[in-house]
Amino acid sequence: MTKNLNIKETTLAAFQKRVNTLFAEREEWQTTLYATANQRLYELLGNIYTVYLDAKDGGDVSAEKFEWLQK
């Protein structure tokens, strides 16, 4: 019976270690790659919005820009 209990405890400890490792990896990803990707995404969206504003400012050239964008 003690042998079975040790196997269960060892199996549980290994499982807990795997889950804790995943938690740590997720946290590292979230604070590095995810944060950097989000920052870059907002930069891109800002640039897109700037292009949009430039194309819709009402001038004759802007109308041509807007028409070209719709192609």
Q: pLDDT band for position 69 (50/70/90)?
A: confident
In whole angstroms, give the CA distance from residue 52 to residue 57: 9
Domain of residue 35 covers: 2-69
Handedness of CA 27, 29, 30, 32 (dihedral sign): positive
Residue 11 Cα to chain centre, angstroms: 33
Q: Over the stretch 22-65, which tens digit does the pLDDT of each residue have?
A: 999 999 999 999 999 999 999 999 999 998 888 777 677 777 87
Which of 62, 44, 43 minimizes the C-alpha distance to 53? 62
Question: How far is it, in rounded angstroms, from Cα 10 to Cα 8?
Answer: 5
Alpha carbon distance 10, 14 (integer Å): 6
Number of domains in the chain: 1
